[in-house]
């Protein structure tokens, strides 16, 4: 089987596959070309999702599940690409997502633009290693320039204005942009609730994001505590409890069973009654141990049968069953309680405390959830998202994750650069100046890097319905004449290109990471000149 490259009537490359011919291995410049073609194809898919007016993609999984998103990392992860180089771009967006949490689309678009510029330089006979070295040099100039133009934003728990504005920039391109004030506030409050500002550390384990269908995005709330998708085990148990001392158990409410392979035969009514009495006594003993510890609410990882449930009800001991492992750990952290594996080990010191535990019902359905508030450890929070369908809730959760990560990054390093392509344009001009001082062939690669940076503002202008080249040329000329590094693309059509006035910010950590990660990946791709499949080379 062999592949022939051709073009359709619009000049787009197509691949014609011929059966019955031996596959030809591609190496050298042809390999570089095919790698660049694959990477550009992936970058072009996500390019239209960039910016506040970027479009969404609908992704269909192999079992027919639908995902609607414009999150770069989600799109690439669910695409299931087969090409080796395309897989590297997927990993690139994932590493940006894991490390920074935002900017996943931008980093892929930038990598695609760098490879496109490299393609033109390869045609001119410039060696791939020279291109890679020039890109590295240009990246260092760009990162140094970013740090020189970065502004420091002061904030504390009482002054969150700049954190709010940066979170809004992250949410501007998401499905929640219609109520991004509310979501930005929830993201900022959630991070500041769990942040240690002295150590500049944010514990993500204490932030839980949960969702429930029904209601609109406006009904989403930040709960200072834990929300669990469970209800009280008996319908007649009270729906709201105050000043709860919580026993958190990982042992079941049931009598111990013989841990052997022997079977127990009951041959008479007396024996059955004795067994029944034994089970009842054992259960009463368990309830007594819980009550003696001072607990007035039991949260159990395992279930218990109807008889046990009835006895708990009779003993006025409210209980919640089948609470999962991660949730029970979060409840233990929030209430400052200890998870107890055996009833004999239950002591008053191991109980958790919560001011209020209530069961909340939704709409006309029987859906109920348990809300645990006013916990002993007030740092644990839950962002509870509402939405019309599962897709909206899932996308809102992804958007919130990005916003929470952006605020977390500002807690770690409170320097910002300006969005809307302003940072890329000013870095592009700085690299072109630096390239004039370079006498080696690397200056071509540096100018290529500067041109590649223009891909971000070009995509932003195109996605906003503006004339891309005309808009970019106008902003670049103003950058040069006014020496103003805050001018970017007016994506929201507010009539001003000054991103400082529009309050469009990006954390310096995020932008710097985009430049470094994209450059590293492109350097690696440029150094690959052959792909060898198993069993291709025969003796």
State pLDDT tens for residues 437-485: 888 888 999 999 999 999 999 999 998 888 899 999 999 999 888 888 8
3-state secondary structure of 525: helix
- Is residue 232 within 8 A of residue 322, CB to CB? The reply is no
532 within some domain: no
**Which residue, of 369, 394, 413, is where some domain finishes?**
413
Residues 519 and 458 in one domain: yes
> What's 155's DSSP letter?
-
25 pLDDT higher than 80: no
Does 46 or 257 have the greater pLDDT score? 46
Q: What is the pLDDT of residue 20?
A: 42
Residues 264 and 404 in one domain: no
Secondary structure (H, E, C), 175-193: HHHHHHHHHHHHHHHHHHH
Q: What are the tens digits of pLDDT across the range 214-257? A: 888 888 899 888 888 888 888 888 888 999 899 998 888 777 66
User: What gap in Å lies between CA 404 and CA 186, rounded to an integer?
Assistant: 9
452 within some domain: yes
Q: 327: exposed, middle or buried (C-beta count within 10 Å: 0-12, 13-18, 19+)? A: buried
Domain that holds residue 389: 154-223+380-413
User: What gap in Å lies between CA 340 and CA 351, rounded to an integer?
Assistant: 9
**Which residue, of 325, 353, 377, is where some domain finishes?**
377
Secondary element (H or E) of residue 478: helix 468-482
Residues recorded for the chain: 539
Strands (E), 274-423: 297-300, 319-320, 339-340, 352-361, 368-375, 381-387, 415-418
522 within some domain: yes
CATH of the domain at 178: 3.30.260.10
- Is residue 331 within 8 A of residue 248, CB to CB? The reply is yes
Residues 101 and 16 in one domain: yes
197 band by pLDDT with thresholds 50, 70 and 90? confident
Residues 110 and 234 in one domain: no
538 within some domain: no
Query: What one-character-per-residue DSSP string does 253-314 give?
Result: SSPPPP-SS------SHHHHHHHHHHHHHHHHHHHHHHHHTT-SEEEESS---HHHHHHHHH
374 pLDDT higher than 70: yes
Residues 172 and 304 in one domain: no
Residues 281 and 345 in one domain: yes
Q: What are the tens digits of pLDDT across the range 316-368? A: 889 998 888 788 888 898 888 899 988 888 888 999 999 889 988 877 777 78
Q: What is the pLDDT of residue 21?
A: 42
Residues 212 and 241 in one domain: no
CA distances from 382 to 298, 329, 344, 439, 478 (A): 21, 14, 32, 57, 45
**Which residue, of 413, 437, 470, is where some domain finishes?**
413
Catalytic residues: 71, 104-105, 402
For residues 500-515, give the mean pLDDT.
Answer: 89
For residues 6-19, give the mean pLDDT.
Answer: 52
Residues 188 and 282 in one domain: no
Q: What share of the chain has pLDDT > 70, as a percent? A: 93
Q: What is the pLDDT of residue 368?
A: 84
CATH of the domain at 505: 1.10.560.10
User: What gap in Å lies between CA 170 and CA 152, rounded to an integer?
Assistant: 18
481 within some domain: yes
User: What gap in Å lies between CA 308 and CA 324, rounded to an integer?
Assistant: 20
CB contact burial 107-141 (16+ within 10 A = b; e otherwise): bbbbbbbbbbbbbebbeeebebebbbbbbbbbbeb
Residues 516 and 428 in one domain: yes
Residues 8 and 124 in one domain: yes
User: What gap in Å lies between CA 376 and CA 72, rounded to an integer?
Assistant: 39
User: What gap in Å lies between CA 360 and CA 373, rounded to an integer?
Assistant: 12
Q: Which of 1-5, 122-126, 168-172, 424-428 has the lowest mean pLDDT?
A: 1-5
- Is residue 224 within 8 A of residue 206, CB to CB? The reply is no
267 within some domain: yes
Q: What is the pLDDT of residue 147?
A: 92
423 within some domain: yes
Q: What are the tens digits of pLDDT across the range 159-181? A: 788 888 888 888 877 777 778 88
Average pLDDT of the residues of the chain: 84
Residues 216 and 184 in one domain: yes
Residues 263 and 318 in one domain: yes
CB hemisphere CA count around 222 (13 angstroms):
22
23 pLDDT higher than 50: no
pTM score, whole prediction: 0.81
**Count: domains in the chain:** 3
């Amino acid at each position: 089987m062999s592949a022939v490259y051709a073009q359709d009537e619009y000049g787009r490359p197509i691949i014609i596959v011929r059966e019955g011919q031996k596959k030809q291995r591609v190496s050298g410049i042809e390999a570089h070309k095919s790698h660049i073609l694959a990477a550009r194809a992936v970058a072009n898919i996500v390019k239209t999702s960039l910016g506040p007016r970027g479009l969404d993609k609908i992704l269909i999984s192999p079992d027919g599940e639908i995902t609607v998103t414009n999150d770069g990392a989600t799109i690439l992860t669910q695409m299931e690409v087969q090409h080796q180089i395309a897989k590297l771009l997927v990993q690139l967006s994932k590493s940006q997502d894991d490390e920074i949490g935002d900017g996943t689309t931008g980093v892929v678009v930038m990598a695609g633009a760098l490879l496109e510029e490299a393609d033109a330089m390869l045609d001119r006979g410039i060696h791939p290693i020279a291109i890679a070295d020039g890109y590295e040099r240009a990246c260092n100039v760009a990162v140094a320039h970013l740090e020189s133009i970065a502004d420091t934003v002061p904030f504390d728990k009482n002054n969150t204005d700049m954190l709010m504005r940066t979170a809004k920039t992250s949410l501007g391109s998401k499905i929640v942009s219609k109520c991004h004030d509310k979501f930005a506030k929830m993201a900022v409050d959630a991070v500041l609730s769990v942040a240690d500002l002295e150590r500049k550390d944010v514990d993500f384990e204490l932030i839980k994001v949960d969702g429930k269908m029904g209601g609109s995005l406006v009904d989403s709330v930040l709960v200072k505590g834990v929300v669990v998708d469970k209800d009280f085990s008996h319908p007649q148990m009270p729906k709201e409890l105050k000043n709860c001392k919580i026993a958190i158990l990982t042992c079941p409410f049931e009598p111990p069973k013989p841990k052997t392979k022997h079977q127990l035969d009951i041959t008479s009514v007396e024996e059955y009654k004795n067994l029944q009495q034994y089970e009842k006594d054992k259960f009463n003993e368990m309830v007594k141990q819980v009550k003696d510890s001072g607990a007035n609410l039991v949260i159990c990882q395992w279930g218990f049968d109807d008889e046990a449930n009835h006895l708990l009800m009779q003993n006025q001991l409210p209980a919640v069953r089948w609470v999962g492992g991660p949730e029970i750990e979060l409840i233990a952290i929030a209430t400052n309680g200890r998870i107890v594996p055996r009833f004999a080990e239950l002591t008053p010191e191991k109980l958790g405390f919560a001011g209020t535990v209530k069961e909340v019902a939704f709409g006309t359905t029987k859906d109920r959830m348990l809300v645990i508030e006013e916990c002993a450890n007030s740092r644990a929070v839950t962002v509870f998202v509402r939405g019309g369908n599962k897709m909206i809730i899932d996308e809102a959760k992804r958007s919130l994750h990005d916003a929470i990560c952006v605020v977390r990054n500002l807690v770690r390093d409170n320097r910002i650069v300006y969005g809307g392509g302003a940072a890329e344009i000013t870095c592009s001009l700085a690299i072109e100046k630096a390239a004039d001082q370079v006498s080696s062939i690397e200056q071509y690669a540096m100018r290529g890097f500067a041109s590649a940076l223009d891909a971000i503002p070009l995509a932003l202008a195109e996605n906003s319905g503006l004339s891309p080249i005309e808009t970019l040329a106008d902003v670049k000329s103003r950058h040069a004449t006014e020496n103003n590094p805050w001018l970017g693309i007016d994506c929201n059509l507010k009539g001003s290109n000054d991103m400082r006035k529009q309050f469009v910010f990006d954390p310096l950590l995020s932008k710097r990471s985009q430049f470094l990660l994209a450059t590293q990946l492109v350097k690696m791709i440029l150094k690959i000149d052959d792909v060898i499949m198993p069993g291709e080379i025969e003796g």
